A and B are shown apart, each in its own frame.
Chain A
Amino acid sequence: MLANEAIARAVVESDVKVAAFYPGSPTSEILDTVSMFSGEFKDLTMEVSANEKVAFETAVGASLAGVRSFTSMKSVGLNVASDAFFSVGYTGVRGGMVLLVADDPHAHSSQSEQDGRFYAYPAHVPMLEPSTAQEAYEMTKWGFELSEKYSTLVLVRTTTRVNHQSAIVSVGEIKRSPFHRASWKDVGAHYYTLAATARRLKGEALERLSHIREEFEQSAFNIIEAGEGEVGIITSGVSYLYVREALETMDSRPHVLKLATTHPLPSDLIGTFLKDKRRIVIVEELMPYLEREIRSIAHERRIDVEIRGKLSGDFPLVGEYNVPIVRAGIASSLDIASADSYADVMSRAESLKEGLPVRSPIFCPGCPHRGTFWAVQQALKETPYVLNNDIGCYSMFLLEPYEVTDSLLCMGASLGLSSGMQHVLNDKVVAFVGDSTFFHAAIPGLLSAVHNNHDLTLVILNNSVTAMTGQQPNPGSDFGAAPVTKLDIPSVVKGLGVPHVAEVSAFEPKDNVETFKEALSYRGVSVVISHGPCALYNDRLKRHAGTPIVPNEVSHDTCQNIYACIRGVHCPAIELDTATGKSTIRSELCNGCMVCAKMCPVSAIYSTRGDDT
């Protein structure tokens, strides 16, 4: 099973009663799997919250009320939840609670290569780091035990290559206890941090951590693999796997210390490992977190050992590791001249791939964003503008062939940035957010713009799900793990006092140009909500319901090689018939959204349904 599924399994085996999430790659499959389990076990409440802060607080609330709880989020999700996270570091928890945070080295699907390990130290929260799917399962379970034993939140930290590993995992039995409502007076405690209380709680948190460190010194998850000589490697997480594999092809056999408890570090264990070594190589992704800590442990204990890693320039600071990088880094750290055995393979491949067309991610056939953006661009044709984009599938407007995005920082930032820019620029200021991002973090920005009489236009691309992460529900969706209330975005926007609100159907690009023009020329805050379901989600619903997906066709008799269906549409289902130079539609990819048909000035594209064109 996928490590994310193994983590979800651990959550269910640990008798967690409340789990709340906001999806984010590479953690989304944890949410999906817990959601599936919650259908099976009625004593498990699972919900999707508006954002990570709310999800975290929901889990904390359940824990304070006495049950086990869980949440997981991507690296930058913890930034959103961090306000509450730091306070919970002080208050501690009651029912066992685990927070899983997944970093994304290489920024595969994130805006930064954030290193979440640095959160544990200032928040006084213990941290565990698995390498494999099996360990992810076991450490999540252990996390709940630790959490309850020390009344502390426990952070399990992973990286993309751990979450998206799939392997055979041996799991335990699922034994669920019956759920009973509790009474707050039975809790007999208060959870707040202020002034004198904060100072007292900080002392207690530090005291707690010193006991946890003692336990970590003995943990069987920290492993020493004996080698030969006076050289040692210290590593953790997925890097450990790369180390093992790299060493297979190298002549030296250094000792290896694999750390699983990375805050607080087992400093006695590390000190003992350092003591009889001449040189230590630290293998870790992202920032030199272990390297700095271990340098300081060596310094405190006056151990004379040379420490090599990122700070010494032997390993890269940017990007994720793999076996070739780790092999080269170890060789460099040990001053071994290493012929890069991968260089030949890589350079041959590079020359073989010359002229190979790129295949970057692009909007799916039937995606509503395609038509929305076309209309916005037409409406802005004569107007200098700045486009502040946001996080979601529509982030892809920054990629080829569009390359229309002037800024993109983080969830909901398009609103705040637009507010700042409209104070300074002559240009029309436009912001894009999706429905999920709107609920997540854009609402405060919008109401602030209304309150301060700003001049900007917000386009809300409402596809009714959180599409990018795998079509999970958001507050605007009509489904969830349990019954939900669907929020109506136009009502929310109007309720915030936005003076100019319009709605369009995403699949009517030409008709919408005028509506967008009106909104864009409005002086003040204007919002256009473009409705159209996510094609991936909607096609799946149709397949389940047995509703046919009817593709379009191009009549080559009518087609005049104008290519309006290609320019500005960029649909994966449309390609050229190079024999005739005419457009052609791949029926197995087309979902019949009709946007291309509406673009064609000679009406050469028709639905194979036969009742409309």
Chain B
Amino acid sequence: MNGRYNMVLSGVGGQGLMLLSNVIGTACAQEGLPVITGEQHGLSQRSGSISVHLRMGEGTYGPLVPPGDADVMIAMEATEALRYIEFLRDDGYIIMNTRLMHHPLETMRHVREDAATEPYFSLDEVRKRVRSVTPNVLEVDALHLAEAAGNARAENVVLLGAACGLPGFPLKKETVKDVIGGVVPEKTIDANMKAFDAGDGACCDAFG
């Protein structure tokens, strides 16, 4: 590949973001592609918003993607795509899980304001706003695809499969799948491979 390829992964603490970044990092190592990531650990994991920055390619540079510089963003939860939107370059790709996880503070506000039947901040709203930055948004119902593949916990692998299907993505699908096969529990390998392919398929349908 030429130049640098920047990714931002976002989601909610506990969704398996670190596994995703480990898999991509290991796949880079196997392909001899320099990579550096900036991760969040500690307090931010407790059901809070988290992000991982991932940078591939030659050169000396830091662990953080500068604003407006990410080629692709993988959002494991839809509102978390919007939360880190400043990192995406114009016309960059977003792989966005359609899942919404409502924070207790938002729920509490509804209850306090006697608005229990009013809608939460919606997927439509997220969609409208992120599409003002880029038309290249792939929405993936990752939970549904992961369940169909046989493992509800493989949402992250579905989304990774989708990212690997993007035009210009610097890693080979086979390498990434090999790495996944090596890190997930043995009895879930088959389901994880199916989950990967489901994500890849969804991406190829959209951008292929």
Contact = CB atoms under 8 A, between A and B. Distances in A.
- A and B from one complex: yes
Interface of A: 2, 25-26, 28-29, 108-109, 132-133, 161, 164-168, 238, 241-242, 244-245, 322-324, 341-342, 345-346, 348-349, 352-353, 355-365, 393, 396, 400-401, 468-470, 561, 563, 566-567, 570-572, 574-576, 578-582, 586, 588-589
Nearest to A561: B116
A346 B67 contact: yes
Contact of A165 (B42, B63, B107, B133): B63
Contact of A576 (B35, B116, B121, B132): B116
A575 B102 CA distance: 7
B64 A322 contact: yes
B101 interface: yes
B60 A359 contact: no
Interface in B69-116: 79-80, 82-83, 85-86, 101-108, 110-111, 116
Nearest to B120: A578
A132 B34 CA distance: 13
A164 B41 contact: yes
A161 B64 contact: yes
Nearest to A400: B105
A514 B15 CA distance: 38
Interface string B21-41: 110010011000011111111
B104 A572 contact: yes
Contact of A356 (B64, B83, B152): B83
Contacts of B68: 341-342, 345
Contact of A164 (B38, B43, B83, B129): B38
B60 A244 contact: yes
B123 to A, nearest CB: 13
Contacts of A168: 25, 28-29, 34-35
B117 A580 contact: yes
Among A361, A561, A586, chain B packs the most CB atoms within 10 A around the CB of A361
B132 A572 contact: no
Contacts of B45: 361
A238 B121 contact: no
B107 A164 contact: no
A563 B29 CA distance: 50
Contacts of B61: 241, 244-245
A582 B111 CA distance: 10
Interface in B117-139: 117-121, 129-130, 132-133
Given A25-B43, A322-B66, A470-B41, A352 B132 contact: yes
Contacts of A362: 46-48, 103-105
Contact of A353 (B44, B47, B83): B83
Contact of A581 (B39, B116, B121, B152): B116
A324 B66 contact: yes
A167 B36 contact: yes
B182 interface: no
B77 to A, nearest CB: 9
Contacts of A346: 67, 86
A465 to B, nearest CB: 14
A161 to B, nearest CB: 6
25 contacts: A25-B43, A108-B40, A108-B43, A133-B36, A165-B63, A166-B35, A167-B37, A168-B34, A168-B35, A245-B62, A352-B132, A353-B83, A357-B105, A357-B121, A359-B103, A360-B103, A363-B47, A570-B105, A572-B103, A575-B102, A575-B120, A576-B110, A578-B110, A580-B117, A581-B117
Contacts of A561: 116
B49 interface: yes
Contacts of B110: 576, 578
Contact of B83 (A238, A345, A359): A359
B48 A323 contact: no
Given A242-B62, A570-B108, 18 more contacts: A25-B43, A109-B41, A165-B36, A238-B62, A244-B62, A323-B62, A341-B68, A352-B130, A355-B121, A359-B80, A364-B14, A469-B42, A563-B111, A563-B116, A566-B111, A576-B116, A581-B117, A589-B101
Contacts of B130: 352
A360 B108 CA distance: 14
B19 to A, nearest CB: 13
Contacts of B120: 357, 575-576, 578
B13 interface: yes
A578 B123 CA distance: 14
A400 B107 CA distance: 13
Nearest to B108: A401
B85 A353 contact: yes
A86 B172 CA distance: 53
A534 to B, nearest CB: 11
Contacts of B143: 588
A580 B117 CA distance: 6
Which of B61, B79, B152 gathers the greatest number of chain A CB atoms within 10 Å?
Answer: B61
